[in-house]
Amino acid sequence: LPPLPDGYHIRKICSDDYGRGALEVLKALTTVGEITNKEFEHTIETWARHPEIYHTLVILDLSETVVAIGSVIVESKLIHHCGKVGHIEDIAVRPNQQGKKLGCTLIRHLIKIAGSLDCYKVILDCDPANEMFYAKCGLSKAGTEMQFRF
Amino acid sequence: LPPLPDGYHIRKICSDDYGRGALEVLKALTTVGEITNKEFEHTIETWARHPEIYHTLVILDLSETVVAIGSVIVESKLIHHCGKVGHIEDIAVRPNQQGKKLGCTLIRHLIKIAGSLDCYKVILDCDPANEMFYAKCGLSKAGTEMQFRF
Ligand SMILES: CC(=O)N[C@@H]1[C@@H](O)[C@H](O)[C@@H](COP(=O)(O)O)O[C@@H]1O
Ligand SMILES: CC(=O)N[C@@H]1[C@@H](O)[C@H](O)[C@@H](COP(=O)(O)O)O[C@@H]1O
């Protein structure tokens, strides 16, 4: 696994990461909205009720501020001999922390979790503009993402 | 929701669908391998332990044979105000049953489940060759799928 800058560390998300700026980081990716501390805790608790499925990591800097966040959702299937697939989701790096390879380091940790849980593959969807970034992290182009918006 | 052919019906998967040919249908999609009745039941039980997350439907014909299968995995997120996304997975139609719109009907039912559970969108990944099919079912192109194979 690639090393983190001195003093940075990576660990599972916890409810207190609300106060450490976890949601600000996600705002670099997409719409987050106004989420209260209680709503944040509720989602962390939902994830904790399914510990085999939801795995969210955060990277913190020296000041204990969240600088990167990302998840892998482990799905149990019938195909591939009742195989499992890891879905990498909601990868975001704090804008002023880019260029430190935090995104790739996070992805490698999430892939490691999926591998240790016996996934036969890990997939993610991204903007075509980010294909190069994910290719540098070791992923390759697989298919097309289609969506239906409510 | 589009109608099914006379005598066909759609319902949640159950353990007994092993004997109704559910796995043969999945073989139209990809590698399935030799799965025993016990292994099949184990996956159905895994899904049943997370009823908010896993939703798998089957379409059966008059002879109670599985002719189509598909899932939607409902993921809880932080983004989009603690929103949810439905991941449509493992859609397969028995080859001799194609041309009856069973695939689209199945997708519409899965989208309905995701909507009723408050998902803000439903996504799926497919071979670029199948984009047209999913477009006919009401989905539109969104992004690129990237993968890492173990
Ligand atoms: C690898 C990665 O982080 N991909 C993300 C996906 O996880 C996230 O859920 C989505 C949000 O987009 P949305 O706001 O349009 O739903 O953006 C990107 O596709
Ligand atoms: C909409 C749909 O059904 N998409 C499927 C996906 O759900 C399935 O898991 C994958 C298996 O491919 P694999 O055998 O290469 O993992 O094929 C397709 O992308």
Residues from chain A that touch B144, judged by Cβ atoms under 8 A, are 125-128, 131, 141, 143-145
Look-up: residue for tokens 């239906």?
Answer: A148
Angle, alpha carbons A110-A125-A67 (nearest 5°): 50
**Residue B37 has which token pair?**
């009745």
Residue B42: partners with Cβ closer than 8 Å, 6 or more residues away: A82
| Strand order from edge to edge, sheet including A84-93 | A9-12, A54-60, A66-76, A84-93, A119-126, B140-149, A140-149, B119-126, B84-93, B66-76, B54-60, B9-12
**Domains in chain B: ranges and CATH:** 9-136 (3.40.630.30)
pLDDT digits 0-9 by tens, B117-148 = 999 999 999 999 999 999 999 999 999 999 99
List average pLDDT for each run of 10 residues in chain A, which is 150 residues long. 95 98 97 98 98 98 98 98 98 96 98 98 98 97 98
Per-residue pLDDT, A2 = 87
Q: What is the pTM (predicted TM-score) of this model?
A: 0.98
Q: Which residues of chain B have pLDDT under 70?
A: none
Mean of pLDDT over chain B: 97
Residues from chain B that touch A148, judged by Cβ atoms under 8 A, are 111, 121-123, 138-140
Contact present, A127 and A133 (Cβ < 8 Å): no
Tell me the best of B23, B26, B29, B141 to mutate to test the pocket of ligand 2, counting ligand atoms within 8 Å of each CB and taking the most: B29
